[in-house]
Amino acid sequence: MVLLIAFNVIARYFFSYGLVALQELEWHLMAVGALFGICYALNRREEVRVDVLYARFPPRVQRAIDILGSLLLGLIALKIAWLSIGFVTRSYALGEGSADPGGLPARYVLKAAIPAAFVLLAVQAFARVVHDTATLAARRTDPTGH
């Protein structure tokens, strides 16, 4: 994506040359990267949190909050994936492409990333529910409390 942007900038400003399709490809790549990056960030536990109260709770309460939050996230992600399927199928049925002359065709390919990414997000959220539940159960049976 960096090379694509660099090429577009150099071509546009130094050679007065530009393609709408390449400019659209920039935001298509950014959109797909962001959609699938959410799943990756959740997997690495690098999501943005508001820890004003959470940081003060004991570890068991934090884990319970994590379980509830991941469960709700998974359910909402599945709902969004389900709702976005109609969005993609309509785009495919219309053969939707760019509204701009010289733009990219087959916009439904980009839109298909939406349900795919949200299904993966739901899978990751449910995996965290399982992991956090197992961790919470293991700590309950550990006599040292660790």
Chain segment 24-44, per-residue pLDDT in tens: 888 899 999 999 999 999 999
Give the position of tokens 């949190």.
49
pLDDT band at 23 (very low <50, low <70, confident <90, very high): confident
pLDDT band at 51 (very low <50, low <70, confident <90, very high): confident
Half-sphere exposure of 56 (CA within 13 A, CB side): 3
In the predicted model, is pLDDT for residue 142 greater than 70? no
| pTM confidence score | 0.83
